[in-house]
């Protein structure tokens, strides 16, 4: 993550901002229809709410603050502090690229305006009189945000070849508390490894990832998954051939399906090739045998781990540095 301090923020305001994960654009009429009159005045017309008018100032419970316009995650509650100014204040955004910075000359002294980097909603301003190592105070209009309570950990299921490899990769992703190897997608109840390897059960080798969505998003996990195996080869990953090694994402909700579809489409357009990754609702996850759990950590000296898994981990660490534990 880019280290944010007063110097780097002014550089971003002058030289250009970080690239957002994605961009949302709507017409003024569309925003006006979606938002309340006050939300529209603040976020689209660059207004300012009255000090101490927002109940967000008093909120101290765990949770996450999202853009009221596009639902981009902006700030975590643990970065919030009482500045005494009458506006919600934060020391740091949840990710460096969710905020854009713009020089504001509307008052006698220049200021740095902050906007949502996804939809360009006006949020407030940032000042160099905050607390913590950065010394920053993000002074944000409460109306521009929606607070969501801290959710419980949730799970995601992915398949991309041998689960020994997939497990080892996701174990190194921040926000992931557990990775369990198993089987999904077939008709056989309580399948065993030998039967799945025959290709006759319909099951794929998969991992069930338990993660904290406040730390790592489902979209991040999908990008890790698609970026650490070959989603272009049908029913095969390297020397492993068969439907049990197919590229697959098993989703739990319609929202997960929509996110996975969007990321798959973006990647297909980027590389100009069609991904063969299967996208299916999760029916049942069956845990694999004990000797398949935590395989890499227990067998780092074995040839398969050194020759197959180690190179995959090296690529993952290089590509997804921002998601490492």
- Catalytic positions are 139, 162
Q: How far apart are CA 248 and CA 239, in angstroms?
A: 18
Residue 174, number of CB atoms within 10 A of its CB: 14
Q: How far apart are CA 17 and CA 7, in angstroms?
A: 13
The DSSP code for 104 is: E
Counts of helices then strands in the chain (DSSP H, E): 10, 17
Tokens of 250: 């098993």
Residue 31, number of CB atoms within 10 A of its CB: 18
Q: 99 — phi, psi (to 5°)?
A: -115, 140
List the one residue out of 148, 144, 147 whose CA is nearest residue 49.
Answer: 144
Q: Which residues contact 127 (CB under 8 A, 6 or more apart)?
A: 111, 112, 136, 137, 139
Tokens of 297: 């950590």
Q: How far apart are CA 317 and CA 325, in angstroms?
A: 10
Residue listed under structure tokens 């045998």:
289
List the one residue out of 286, 296, 292 whose CA is nearest residue 316.
Answer: 296
Q: How far apart are CA 145 and CA 42, in angstroms?
A: 11
Q: Which residues contact 321 (CB under 8 A, 6 or more apart)?
A: none
Q: Following DSSP, what letter does each residue of 214-251 receive, concatenated?
A: TTS-HHHHHHHHHHSS-TTSTTEETTEESGGG-EEEEE
């Amino acid at each position: 993550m880019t280290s944010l301090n007063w110097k780097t923020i002014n550089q971003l305001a002058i030289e250009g901002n970080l690239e957002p994960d994605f961009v949302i654009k709507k017409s003024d009429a569309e925003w006006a229809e979606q938002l309340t009159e006050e939300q529209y005045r603040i976020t689209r017309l660059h207004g300012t709410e009255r000090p101490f008018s927002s109940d967000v100032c008093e909120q101290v419970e765990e949770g996450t603050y999202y853009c009221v316009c596009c639902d981009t995650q902006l700030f975590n509650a643990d970065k919030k502090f009482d500045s005494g100014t009458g506006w919600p204040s934060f020391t740091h955004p949840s990710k460096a690229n969710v905020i854009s910075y713009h020089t504001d000359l509307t008052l006698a002294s220049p200021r740095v305006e902050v906007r949502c980097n996804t939809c360009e909603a006006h949020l407030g301003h940032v000042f160099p009189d905050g607390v913590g190592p950065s010394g920053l105070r993000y002074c944000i209009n409460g109306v521009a945000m929606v607070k969501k309570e801290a959710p419980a950990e949730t799970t995601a299921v992915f398949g991309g070849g041998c689960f020994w490899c997939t497990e080892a990769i996701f174990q190194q992703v921040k926000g992931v508390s557990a990775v369990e190897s198993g089987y999904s997608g077939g008709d056989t109840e309580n399948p065993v490894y030998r039967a799945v390897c025959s290709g006759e059960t319909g099951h794929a080798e998969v991992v069930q990832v338990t993660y904290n969505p406040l730390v790592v998003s489902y979209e991040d996990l999908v990008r890790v998954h698609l970026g650490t195996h070959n989603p272009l080869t049908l029913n095969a990953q390297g020397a492993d051939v068969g439907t049990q090694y197919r590229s697959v994402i098993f989703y739990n909700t319609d929202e997960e399906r929509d996110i996975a579809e969007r990321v798959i489409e973006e990647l297909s357009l980027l590389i100009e090739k069609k991904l063969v990754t299967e996208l299916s609702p999760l029916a049942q996850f069956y845990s694999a045998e004990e000797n398949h759990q935590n395989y890499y950590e227990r067998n780092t000296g074995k040839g398969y781990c050194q020759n197959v898994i180690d190179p995959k981990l090296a690529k993952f660490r290089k590509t997804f540095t921002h998601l490492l534990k």
